[in-house]
Amino acid sequence: MYRRIGIVGLGYVGLTLAAALARKGFEVHGVDANPAVRAALRGGRPHIFEPGIADVFATHAGRSVFVDDELPADLDAVVLSVSTPVDEGSRRPDLSNLAAAAEQVARWCGPQTLVIVRSTVPVGTSRRVVLPALTAAWGRALLVMAPERTIQGQALRELVELPQVVGGVDDESLHAGLELFGGLARQTVPVSSLEAAELVKLSNNCHTDLIYSFGNEVALIAERHGLDPLEVIRAANLDYPRPDLSRPGYVGGGCLSKDPYLMVASAGDDGAFLVGAARRLNERLPVHVAETVVELIRQRRGDTAGARLAVLGWAYKGWPPTDDMRGTPIAAMMPVFRAAGLVVAGHDPMVPDQVIRAYGGEPTSLDKAFCDSDAVLVVNDHPDYRALEVGGLLAAGGAGVVYDSWRILDESAVTAAGARYAGIGYLPAPRAAAPTGRVPA
C-alpha cells in the first residue's frame, strides 16, 4: 500500500497534489527550497491561491500534512515536482532543480521508495537525469513519470476526475505507480514508457498553445482587413462539424509559456516547426496590443508623453481567477508603455498592490481607472470586469480609449460615452458620441 507520500517542491504542482492526497487520506511529507514557503505551510497558510487549498491546509497541516527541511527515509513514494524553467535568452530548458531533487531523494530514501517525476520535462529527461542519480546510490530504482495536467482554479477537482497517465521504467514501477494514483484518481492510463508519459504532457499543453495561436492569427488578419474576428470565428464554428476555432486572447501561465520550449528541445534541430511558430505568435500578441494601445492614445491626444493608462488585470488570466503572474501579458507590454512615456496605473482583484508596483504600475481603483485615465486597457476577463457598468464609469469623463482584450464590456455604452472602443484584432472606426448634456471641461 502506498499511503505515506513525500513531495519535493511545493509550488503549484506539488502543493495542489499534496492537498488532493491529504483529502484522500494519504499522509503527506513535503519539502521546499524556500524557507518562507516552508514556514507558511507549517502554519497552515498556503503561499499560492487555489480554491480549496487553504481549507485543506487549515485542517491537515501538522496532522496528515507535514512540511520539513528533509524527507523521512521510510516513505512509500516520493514525487518530484520542482520547477523546470527555460533560460530567458536561449530558451533552453534548465533541469538543474530536477537533478538536485533526484540527488536529495537518493540520499534521503532507498530502493524500496517509488520515485515519481511530476515536473514537466523534455522527452528522455526522467531516464537521462533522474534515473542515474537513483541507481548510482541504490543500484536499482522504482521510477515512473506521471505528468500533472490540471488547470488553475480547478486543480483539486481535476486531480481526481482527470485520468492520471503513468509510464514506468519497468513493469514493477508501472504497477506501483498505477496503484498509487488509483488511490487518488477515478481513472489511470498506463503507457509503455517514461518517455511516452513525458510526451503526453507536452502534447496536451503544446496543442492548447497551437489552438490559441490560430485564433490569434485569425484576429490579426481580421484587424488588417477591418473585420471583426469574433464575427468570423462565430460564423466558422456555427453548426460546423470540425473542431471549433478558438477566440483570440493572451496565452500565458507557468505551463503554456514554457512547455512549448521543452517540446522544441525534445524535437531536436529538425522538428517542432508548428510549436515554435505558435509560441512566437502568442508571445508577440501582448506587444502588438501594447503598440496598438499607444497608437490609439496618440490618435486621441496627439502625443503619448505623460498620458495616463489604466490596466485592468495583471494576472495572466482572469477566469478561473488566479494571482499567478507567470507568463502575464503585462510583462511584455510595460516596455512598450515606458518607451511611449505613459504613466501606468493598475488594478487586479487578485494581485497585491506591491506586485503591481514591482511591474511598474501604480495601484488604482476601478472608479479612478476610468475617470482619471486617458485610456483603459482590460487585459484579463476576471468576473469583476465582466460585471462592470462601463457606461456609468465613463459618464463623468476621463478615458477616451477603451481597449477590451476579451470583448467583455458593452461596446455601445463605451462609444455612447464618446470613447474609442477596440479589442484584439478589432479596430472599428470611431463613432461620434451621442449628446450627453455634459458641459465640456
Domain locations in the chain as residue ranges: 4-191, 202-279, 284-422
Judged on CB neighbours under 10 Å (0-12, 13-18, 19+), 14 is: buried
Judged on CB neighbours under 10 Å (0-12, 13-18, 19+), 366 is: middle
Q: pLDDT-based confidence at 435, cuts 50/70/90?
A: very low
Distances (CA, A) of 381 to 141, 155, 250, 406: 46, 19, 11, 6
pLDDT at 440 over 70: no
pLDDT at 51 over 70: yes
Confirm whether 202-279 and 284-422 share one CATH topology.
no
Query: Tell me: the pLDDT tens digits for 378-434?
Result: 999 999 999 999 999 998 778 999 999 999 999 999 999 999 999 999 999 887 544
CATH superfamily of 202-279: N-(1-d-carboxylethyl)-l-norvaline Dehydrogenase; domain 2 (1.10.1040.10)
Query: Tell me: the pLDDT tens digits for 70-105?
Result: 999 999 999 999 999 999 889 999 999 999 999 999
Mapped onto helix, strand or coil, the DSSP state of residue 152 is coil
The Cα–Cα gap between 162 and 179 comes to 16
Query: Tell me: the pLDDT tens digits for 110-151?
Result: 999 999 999 999 999 999 999 999 999 999 999 999 999 999
pLDDT at 431: 72
DSSP for residue 189: E
Q: How many other CB atoms sit within 10 Å of the CB of residue 59?
A: 14
pLDDT at 432: 57
Q: Which residue has the cell 483570440?
A: 248
Query: Tell me: the pLDDT tens digits for 167-207?
Result: 999 999 999 999 999 999 999 999 999 999 999 999 999 99
Question: Class of 4-191 per CATH?
Answer: alpha beta
Q: Are 310 and 274 in contact (CB under 8 A)?
A: no
Pick the more confident residue, 436 or 129: 129
Mean pLDDT across the chain, nearest whole number?
94
pLDDT at 2 over 90: no
pLDDT at 399: 94
Nearest to 312 by CA among 405, 395, 415, 418: 405
Q: Are 24 and 184 in contact (CB under 8 A)?
A: yes
* Mean pLDDT computed over 274-280: 95
pLDDT at 334 over 90: yes
Mapped onto helix, strand or coil, the DSSP state of residue 328 is coil
CA within 13 Å, CB half, 178: 15
Q: pLDDT-based confidence at 1, cuts 50/70/90?
A: confident
pLDDT at 24 over 50: yes
pLDDT at 441: 34
What does R_g of the chain's alpha carbons equal in angstroms?
A: 24
Query: Tell me: the pLDDT tens digits for 243-273?
Result: 899 999 999 998 899 999 999 999 987 766 8
| CATH topology for the 284-422 domain | Rossmann fold (3.40.50)
pLDDT at 272: 63
Q: At what angle do helices 96-108 and 131-138 cross, to 10 degrees?
A: 20
pLDDT at 395: 87
C-alpha cell at 51: 480554491
Query: Tell me: the pLDDT tens digits for 335-365?
Result: 999 999 999 999 999 999 999 999 999 999 9
Residues in contact with 95: Cβ distance below 8 Å, sequence separation at least 6, in sequence order: 84, 121, 122, 125, 129
Rounded to an integer, what is the distance from CA 206 to the centroid of its chain?
13
Q: Are 45 and 19 in contact (CB under 8 A)?
A: no
Q: Are 60 and 24 in contact (CB under 8 A)?
A: no
Query: Tell me: the pLDDT tens digits for 305-323?
Result: 999 999 999 999 999 999 9
